[in-house]
Amino acid sequence: MMERAMALTEEHLRGPAAGAMGLIDLLKPSKGRAVAQVPAKLETAEPTDAGKPLIELRNVSKTFGTVKALQDLEVSIRPGELVTVVGPSGCGKSTLFNILAGLEEPDPGNVLRHKGISSVASDLLGKVSFMPQRDLLLPWRNVIDNAILALEIEGMPRGEARKQAMAMLPEFGLAGFEAQYPNQLSGGMRQRVALMRTFLFKRDLMLLDEPFGALDALTRTMMQRWLLDVWQNHKRTVLFITHDVDEAIFLGDRVLVMTARPGRVKLEQAVDLPRPRKADIVTSPEFIALKKTLLEAIEEESMKSFQVAGY
């Protein structure tokens, strides 16, 4: 276990570390929130600091009754990274997110460090911006009021929160739609409102659970490119679940492949493709080579979960 963690750090230093440093400069923690390492001050510091994880999980297992969803999971995410997670359905990806969002406590005996501080999962409530698999927009709130839900809960006055959200509308392709209600929006727009709600909740770590899973292929590729732009402007650390390998490679600095249930990390694959990434990168030999490696790993796990299911 330790060896793998070490190897990972080295790999990261060789690889996209320079890029990651750039991100860290811009990683602006939200106002009034103390950050343990104050990464914004480290512009000229040695690259080793960049490798310090924002969040670190070790020996994380989660059992629901007789179902073992996660077993001895190890994940470590450095500030500014965009890490994508793929794996067969039911392997515990959403469960991992629920733990990171503070909603579920893992089984005892785990190690969970947030900014280097040992924590229980519930300490993370209110500290991670979490976007669940469904958009969960509130039907009685219009676009702008859905977007500011988290800010309101933080106690920001509505007027101010709305002003912030209004300023963000064009970037999310929602200009002019502020007064619409969710049932008047297309699937892609609803998803963008949910994403905007997540972005407005300014936390260091952002969890996106299959945000584009329900969209058609064309909308999805557009949203991917758009997300990269937005991510580059806002500089957050992102964990992104997807079942689409192309999406995982296109977006990620790293791809984590999870095993069939009980979920563990089967493979951590660095993606050394340069940024900004253009749409045609998916046809480059490097991309295809990565895809091949990942698909093999995923295939193996999917087969396992099929066999478990009795096929």
Partner 1 sequence: MTAFMQTDSARQISRGIAGALLVAAVWEICARGLNLPAYILPSVTSILAGMVGDLASLLEAARFTATESFAGYAIGCLIGMAAAILVTMIPSARSIVLPLATAINSVPVVAYSPLVLLWFGIGMASKIVMVAVAVSFTIFLSTIAGLDRVDRKSVDLIRSFGAGRLAVLWRLRLPTALPLIIAGMRVSTVRSVIVAIVTEMLGAYGGLGWVIYQAVLQIDFVKVWAAIIVASAISLAFFGAISFVERRYVFWSKA
Ligand X SMILES: Nc1ncnc2c1ncn2[C@@H]1O[C@H](COP(=O)(O)OP(=O)(O)O)[C@@H](O)[C@H]1O
**Footprint of ligand X (CB under 6 A):** 64, 67, 69, 87, 89-95, 261
Which residue of 11, 181, 219, 226 would you call a contact of partner 1, by CB under 8 A? 181
228: left (phi over 0), alpha (psi -120 to 50) or beta: alpha
187: left (phi over 0), alpha (psi -120 to 50) or beta: alpha
Instruction: Note whether 65 binds partner 1 by CB under 8 A.
Output: no
Q: Which is nearer to ligand X, 133 or 293 (CB)?
A: 133
- Mutual angle of helices 187-200 and 158-168, in 10-degree steps: 120
Instruction: Note whether 125 binds partner 1 by CB under 8 A.
Output: yes
- Label residue 177 exposed, middle or buried (CB < 10 Å: 0-12, 13-18, 19+): middle
Give 77's contacts (C-beta < 8 A, 6+ positions apart). Answer: 53, 54, 55, 56, 83, 205, 237, 239
Task: Say if residues 237 and 267 touch (Cβ distance below 8 Å).
Answer: no
Choose the contact partner of 67 out of ligand X, Mg ion, partner 1, none; CB within 5 to 8 A by kind. Answer: ligand X
Instruction: Note whether 148 binds partner 1 by CB under 8 A.
Output: no
Segment contacting partner 1 by CB under 8 A, of 35-43, 105-113, 126-134, 240-248 = 126-134
Tokens linked to 113: 């460090």
Instruction: Note whether 98 binds partner 1 by CB under 8 A.
Output: yes
Instruction: List, in sequence order, the alpha helices (H) in the chain.
Output: 2-14, 17-26, 93-100, 143-147, 149-154, 158-168, 187-200, 217-234, 245-251, 285-309
- Residue 283 CB, nearest approach to partner 1 (Å): 38
Helix (H, G, I), strand (E, B) or coil at 112: strand
Q: Which is nearer to partner 1, 154 or 171 (CB)?
A: 154
Residue with tokens 């999310």: 172
Segment contacting partner 1 by CB under 8 A, of 35-43, 65-73, 120-128, 272-280 = 120-128
Choose the contact partner of 91 out of ligand X, partner 1, Mg ion, none; CB within 5 to 8 A by kind. Answer: ligand X
Tokens linked to 229: 């732009």
Binders of Mg ion among residues 85 to 104 (CB under 5 A) are 94
Segment contacting partner 1 by CB under 8 A, of 67-75, 144-152, 229-237, 283-291 = 144-152
Q: Which is nearer to ligand X, 175 or 303 (CB)?
A: 303
Helix (H, G, I), strand (E, B) or coil at 124: helix
How many residues of this chain interact with Mg ion, rule: CB under 5 A?
A: 1
- Residue 251 CB, nearest approach to Mg ion (Å): 17
Chain residues in the site for partner 1 (CB under 8 A): 98, 101-103, 125-130, 132, 134, 136, 138-140, 149-150, 152-154, 181, 183, 201
